[in-house]
Amino acid sequence: MKLRTTYLGLELKSPIVVSSSTLTGSVESIKQCAEAGAGAVVLKSIFEEQILSDIRREEGYTDIYNSYLEAQEYLNTFMRGNEIDIYVKLIREAKEVVDIPIIASVNCTSKGEWTSIAKELQDAGADAIELNIAIATFDRDLDAREIENEYVSILEEVKKNINIPVSVKIGDHFTNISRMAFSLSKAGSKGLVLFNRFYNPDINIEKIKVVPGNSISSREENNNTLRWISLLSSQGIPCELSATRGVHTGEDAVKQILAGAKTVQVCSTLYRYGIDYIRQINADIEAWMKRHNFKDVESFRGIVNKKENIKVVERLQYLRRNYDSNK
Binding-site ranges for ligand FMN (CB under 6 A): 19-22, 44-45, 105, 107, 132, 169, 196-197, 215, 217, 244-247, 266-268
Confirm if 25 and 270 have CB atoms less than 8 A apart: no
Least distance CB 290 / ligand FMN (angstroms): 25
Q: Toward ligand FMN, which CB reaches closer, 244 or 256?
A: 244
Nearer to ligand FMN, 189 or 268 (CB): 268
DSSP state of 202: E
Q: Give the residues across from 7 on adjacent strands.
A: 10
Which CB atom, from 132 or from 234, has the smaller least distance to ligand FMN?
132
Residues 6+ apart with CB under 8 A from 233: 241, 259, 260, 261, 302, 305
Cβ 270 to ligand FMN shortest distance, Å: 8
The count of other CB atoms within 10 Å of the CB of residue 291 is 8
Q: How far, CA to CA in Å, does 143 sit from each of 113, 133, 148, 219?
A: 24, 17, 9, 33
Residue closer to ligand FMN, measured from CB, 75 or 168: 168
Q: Is 188 left (phi over 0), alpha (psi -120 to 50) or beta?
A: left
Minimum distance of ligand FMN from residue 267's CB (angstroms): 3
Nearer to ligand FMN, 103 or 239 (CB): 103
The Cα–Cα gap between 212 and 202 comes to 6
Closest distance between ligand FMN and the C-beta of residue 103, in Å?
Answer: 11
The amino acid present at 82, given as its one-letter code, is N
**Minimum distance of ligand FMN from residue 171's CB (angstroms):** 10
